[in-house]
Structures are given as C-alpha cells and as structure tokens.
Amino acid sequence: MRMHVGALAAVVPLAVALPTAAQVAAPEGAQSSYTSGGEGFQYHPFLLHVDGGGTITQRTNAGLLDNGWNAGLGLTWYPASQLPLGLRLDGSYMRFTARAPLLSQAAALYQTQVDDGIVKMWGGDADVEIDFPFGPRTRFYLVGGVGWYRLETTYRQLQLVNTNFCSSSLGCYPGVPSTTHAVVGTTRTGWQYSRNAGFGMEFSLGGRNSFFIDARYMRLNPSNSRSDFIPIRAGVRF
C-alpha cells in the first residue's frame, strides 16, 4: 500500500517529531550551573573577595576573651561551569580583648598588675565550597576545610603620668594627670592547625559581582585544646 508524502505529514507533523537545537546542543546533565544571559550569576573561573565582620568566642575562649572582629580577603577558583564546586582560599585577621580570668593568669605570670590585654590572630584557610542555586540571583553554599593561624597576646598596665606646663611668664605649674598603657609582656605562638565548617548565602549584583554573608564554626589546634570561634563575615566578590 502506498501513501503520499503529503498525507504522511498530515498524520505525523514534522514540527513535533524533530528535536530542538537547544536539546541537541545541551544534553541533560551538562547544563551550566550559572546563567548565560545578562541576569544573575555569571561563570568566571577566578573570583576575588574582601570581607569583614564579628567573631564570637566559644568554649574555653568564651571565658578568656570578649567577642572580637575580623577582616580578610581571598580567592575562589571554580574549575568548570558545569560543577557547583569551588576551592576557596581565605586570609584573615582577628582581634580580641582579654577578659578578667586571662588578665589574672598574666598577673600571676609576670608578678605585677595587668589591666588589659589584646589578642591578635592571623592566618588563612583552604576550603571546599559547594553551591546550591535558589534562583538566577541567589544561592546557598556550604564551606569547610583546614587552616593555619598564629596568635600574639600583649598584656598592658595602666599608669598615671604627671605633666607640667611651663611658660616664660608664669613659670612651670602642674598639669592635668594623664594615663598611658605600659606593655608588661607579649606572648606569641607558632603556626597552629585549625578546622572549620559553615554555610552562607550569596546574592548576585550583576556581572561577576556578588554580595555574601556566611558563618563558620572554627576550632584552633583541635588536637590539644578546645579553642573555638564563630567568625561571621559579610563581603563582596568581584
């Protein structure tokens, strides 16, 4: 039995039978994790970032240090647009004020009065970041890895300084006493290993720019002590 081509096209429309160009060019499982249009996140293999925020002391540190602040910068490498995966490098500086129990320990060590103490902490982390898109302009991410940090603690004593004011006509007379801080002692550590894990949210600002905020639980020198922190950071990527 013979059927004309025109009759066959009437029974099975060719527009339904043929796949679209997009289906041929982008098979399932190979789509980019980033939007390719002008809206939302754009794929770039390397992104820089700057950040800052507060650091909450935990466990042993909570009794020795007040909550502090942090500032940092870093670089994220995304190996491929099809993978929601990046390697993130962060350099950080943190600063804390010593609490009374730590000042008492320092006073016993130096055998003198200690009125305040400043703890400086600096180093870096190497983390893996996994992104979970919530839309073209918003994504959630998990981050975790290891790092190395050093600490420097400076103990100071408050001292009263008497001043004199002198003039050619009136001579010298006592001025208003002022206060100054004299350094009692400084301690420094070597590089200490750390671990961290956390999460964050990131919002596209257009092009390669974005704003993020994240929080991590960080443990310094985990094999020897329970020295824990929670850095909370907000920053921009570009």
DSSP label of 19 = P
pLDDT at 227: 87
Distance CA 134, CA 143 (A): 17
Cβ(133)–Cβ(33) below 8 Å: yes
Distance CA 169, CA 154 (A): 44
pLDDT at 2: 46
pTM of this prediction? 0.78
Positive or negative, the CA dihedral 181, 108, 192, 69 is negative
Q: Which residues contact 208 (CB under 8 A, 6 or more apart)?
A: 42, 44, 47, 237, 238
Residue 181 pLDDT > 80, yes or no?
A: no
CB atoms within 10 A of CB 94: 21
pLDDT tens across 83-124, in order? 999 999 999 999 999 999 999 999 999 999 999 999 999 999
Cβ(124)–Cβ(51) below 8 Å: no
Q: List, in order of start, the domains of the chain with CATH numbers.
A: 44-237 (2.40.160.20)
Cβ(203)–Cβ(211) below 8 Å: yes
What's the CA angle centered on 149, arms 146 and 150, to 5 degrees? 165
User: What residue has token string 């305040």?
Assistant: 116
Distance CA 74, CA 81 (A): 20
pLDDT tens across 17-72, in order? 444 444 444 444 445 666 544 578 989 999 999 999 999 999 999 999 999 999 99
Mean pLDDT taken over the chain:
84
More confident residue, 5 or 224: 224
**Residue 29, SS3 per DSSP:** coil
Please choose, from the candidates 36, 34, 42, 40, the residue with its C-alpha nearest in 3D space to the C-alpha of residue 22: 36
Q: Which residues contact 193 (CB under 8 A, 6 or more apart)?
A: 146, 147, 148, 221, 222, 223
Distance CA 27, CA 19 (A): 11
CA dihedral 78, 198, 124, 223 (to 10 degrees): -130
The DSSP element (H or E) to which 91 belongs, if any, is: strand 85-97
